[in-house]
Structure 1
Amino acid sequence: MTMINFGSVLAGRPVMAILRGLGVEASLHLTARAFDLGITAVELPVQTADDLDALTACVELGRARGYGVGAGTVLTTEGVADAAAAGAAFTVSPGLDADVARASLEAGLPHLPGVATASEITAALRLGLTWQKAFPASVLGRHWFTAMAGPFPQVDFVATGGMDAHNAADYLAAGARTVAVGSALADPAQLELLARLANGAGSDDDPTGAGK
Structure 2
Amino acid sequence: MSHSTHTPTSTEATAAWFDQTFAAAPLMAILRGTGVERAVALASTAWDLGIDSVEVTLQSDEDLQALREVARLGDERGKVVGAGTIVSARQIPLAAAAGARYLVSPGLDPRLVHAAGEHGIPMLPGVSTPSEVQLACDLGLTWMKAFPALWLGADWFRHIRGPFPQVRFVATGGMDATNARQFLDAGVRVVAVGSALEDPQQLELLAGLLHRTDI
The letter for the 2-side match of 1:2 is T
Q: Deviations over 1:11-33 (max 9, x none)?
A: 34200000110000000011011
**Displacement of 1:188 after TM fit?**
1.0
**Contact map agreement 1:39 1:195 (CA 8 A) in 2:** no
Q: Structure 1: where are the runs of 5+ without partners? A: 202-208
**Displacement of 1:62 after TM fit?**
0.1
TM-score, normalized by length of structure 2? Answer: 0.91
1:2 to 9, 17, 30: 9
Q: Deviations over 1:25-72 (max 9, x none)?
A: 000011011000000111011000000000000000000001110000
2:69 to 57, 65, 75: 57
What is the match of residue 171 of structure 2? 159
What is the match of residue 188 of structure 2? 176
RMSD over equivalenced CA pairs, Å: 1.2
- Paired with 2:115 and 2:77, the residues of 1 have a C-alpha distance of 27
Q: Please say if 1:126 is aligned against 2:133.
A: no
Q: Which moved more, 1:29-38 or 1:11-20?
A: 11-20
**Contact map agreement 1:115 1:134 (CA 8 A) in 2:** yes
What is the match of residue 205 of structure 2? 193
TM-score, normalized by length of structure 1? Answer: 0.92
2:23 to 11, 16, 33: 11
What is the match of residue 5 of structure 2? none
* SS of alignment partner, residue 46 of structure 2: helix
What is the match of residue 205 of structure 1? none
Q: Please say if 1:28 is aligned against 2:35.
A: no
**Displacement of 1:101 after TM fit?**
1.0
1:103 to 115, 123, 126: 115
Q: Percent same amino acid at aligned positions?
A: 54
Aligned length: 203
What is the match of residue 3 of structure 2? none
Q: Please say if 1:75 is aligned against 2:87.
A: yes
Q: Please say if 1:136 is aligned against 2:143.
A: no
**Displacement of 1:75 after TM fit?**
0.6
Q: Structure 2: where are the runs of 5+ without partners? A: 1-7
- Paired with 1:7 and 1:97, the residues of 2 have a C-alpha distance of 22
The letter for the 2-side match of 1:73 is T
Q: Which moved more, 1:46-55 or 1:6-15?
A: 6-15
**Displacement of 1:197 after TM fit?**
1.3
* SS of alignment partner, residue 183 of structure 2: helix
**Displacement of 1:129 after TM fit?**
1.1
